[in-house]
Chain A
Amino acid sequence: MIKIENLSNRYGSIITANNVSCEFECSEVTVILGGSGSGKSTLLKQMAGLARPNSGRILFEGKEITCLSKKELYEVRKSMGMLFQGAALFNSLNVYDNLAFPLREHTKLSEKVIQTIIKMKLEMVGLRGSEHLMPSQLSGGMTKRVGLARAIIMDPKIVFYDEPTSGLDPISAGVIDKLILDLNRKLGVTSVVVSHDIESAFKIADKVIILFYGNIIASGTPDEIKSSPDAKICQFINGSPDGPIPFSHTDKDFMVDMRSQWK
């Protein structure tokens, strides 16, 4: 469904993608794993056309996202949904109006139909009855669930999730994972999830991609990744501080650095 070809991108001296090529299959859940600052969120934004890469191609159903006009891009976006890291609800609108927003913008549905759709989506995320609440009155988990309900309100073909479970309690995280799976299994929604939650990634993914400073270091099914002998992948999965992936920001030896300060 989405194909990335030779994508390269950098912000100043930080490389977020180094000749990345990969494919996201229709009706699959693909999880992009990677440490903080490894370029996964940027990649997600570029796939949705929110940011332009320095070079390379991103094909969405054969159309190149980076070359579309604004009008064409907005047309494509009607079949996309995105759950932002902070859910990005409009804080001046209550839950109902937040969910109704895309419907009122792009459809001519009557208010009664809109009401029904919202009730259905809120039931899916377990928040029916919270229509009148303002975003400031919601907890973190509830905010993400409302954000998810809004992302799927137009029944998109593909949903992008930017760290859907980060900062959530285990139950809320589990609920979100289940929702992602349900959407995929029952409605065939293609899902691209950016995350660093390994446990949840292995639970929901059909395919896992591990990104490390702009390079794909592994790609495959969860089982393939788990049984990989690669030291980098093992270190990442086990979360161990020692290994080929350096924890420290600098290569300079700590003792040398300290001593030079006192000379």
Chain B
Amino acid sequence: MISQSLVFVGHNFLSGIQSLGSGTLFILCALYNIVKPPFRFARIIKEVEFIGVKSFTIIFVTSLFTGMVLALQGYHTLSKFGSESLLGSAVALSIIRELGPVLCALMVSGRAGSAVTAEIGIMKITDQIPALEMMAVDPIEYIVSPKVLAFLISLPLLTAFFDLIGIFGGYLVGVKLLGVNEGAYFGEMLSATTFDDVFGGVVKSLAFGLIIGWISTFIGYTAKSTTEGVSSATTNTVVLASVAILITDYILTSILF
């Protein structure tokens, strides 16, 4: 019994280490192919459209309501101390530093990450990946690299959009609904927010873009060639990416701020 569970633990540990190793080689290969010609602009634009542009609506809605709820919560807490005028900086800082990059990455991993995994998994099941190999085209260079690059391009842009709409949502609730002074809302925001805050947010969003790109493509690429394999791969992508995003967020926050 004990030996059985030891075998189980050991086997899982070894296979975990093994897939971490092959995953690292995989993403290094993909990143190398991003900087190496041929550059596939058409494919990159298509991927950015799918990952970035088509995520606009969902990011718009989440960011608007995040900003609104932040203002609502912040107002009630701040008004206890009579410092409602700080609402603008509270909303802006929490969104720019934390909520913007993190929520944006979580939404994108749920919407686009899962789709990327499913797409690559299905290409594998239907022999499209071996077909690329047979046509002497490297599947990592043709399929994976443009997707990873598209995540890297889209995430910072989507995060910036999230920040903007989030702050606007806070403005709607704070200023228009709860009556915080408009000048104070934006004035406090400007004086409290520094370049480092914005820069930290951008660094985070880039890191999250890499994480989603890596996890979604690698899991799709190594999915079992069955229907079940692809469906569990899509689930794994969302779960793993979300966990990885939150852990990385903590690490980056402790380094950056």
Contacts and interface: CB of A to CB of B under 8 A. Distances in A.
Interface in A82-137: 82, 84-86, 88-91, 101-102, 105-106
Contact of B126 (A48, A78, A88, A101): A88
Interface string B130-148: 1101111110000000000
A14 interface: no
A90 B134 contact: no
Contact of A86 (B127, B133, B135): B127
6 contacts: A50-B134, A77-B135, A82-B134, A85-B127, A89-B128, A91-B126
A88 B135 contact: no
A21 B188 CA distance: 80
B131 to A, nearest CB: 4
Contacts of B133: 50, 77
Interface size, A (range) = 20 to 34
B131 A82 contact: yes
Contacts of B130: 45, 50, 82, 84, 88
Given A88-B126, A91-B128, 15 more contacts: A50-B133, A50-B134, A70-B138, A77-B134, A77-B135, A77-B136, A81-B134, A84-B127, A85-B127, A86-B127, A101-B135, A101-B137, A102-B137, A106-B136, A154-B135
A80 interface: yes
Contacts of A77: 133-136
Nearest to B142: A105
Nearest to B125: A86
A75 interface: yes
A80 B135 CA distance: 8
A74 B139 CA distance: 12
Contact of A48 (B128, B134, B137, B138): B134
B127 to A, nearest CB: 4
B136 to A, nearest CB: 4
A81 B130 CA distance: 12
Nearest to A78: B136
Contacts of A48: 134
B136 A74 contact: yes
A86 B136 contact: no
A84 B131 contact: yes
Interface in B119-169: 126-128, 130-131, 133-138
Given A85-B127, A90-B128, A105 B134 contact: no
A70 B132 CA distance: 13
Interface string A61-85: 0000000001000110110111011
B127 A75 contact: no
Contact of A105 (B126, B128, B131, B137): B137
Most A CB contacts (10 A, CB to CB) among B127, B130, B131, B138 go to B131
Contacts of A89: 128
A84 B138 CA distance: 18
B128 A88 contact: yes
B136 A88 contact: no
A90 B130 CA distance: 11
Nearest to A106: B136
B127 A88 contact: yes
B204 to A, nearest CB: 32
A69 to B, nearest CB: 13
Identify the 10 closest CB pairs spanning chains A and B, nearest first: A88-B131, A88-B127, A74-B136, A77-B136, A84-B127, A82-B134, A102-B135, A88-B128, A50-B130, A78-B136
A78 B128 CA distance: 17
A45 B129 CA distance: 13
Nearest to B133: A50
Contacts of B137: 101-102, 105
B127 A105 contact: no
A90 B123 CA distance: 8
A102 B135 CA distance: 6
Given A45-B130, A86-B127, A105 B138 contact: no
Contacts of A50: 130, 133-134
A106 B133 CA distance: 13
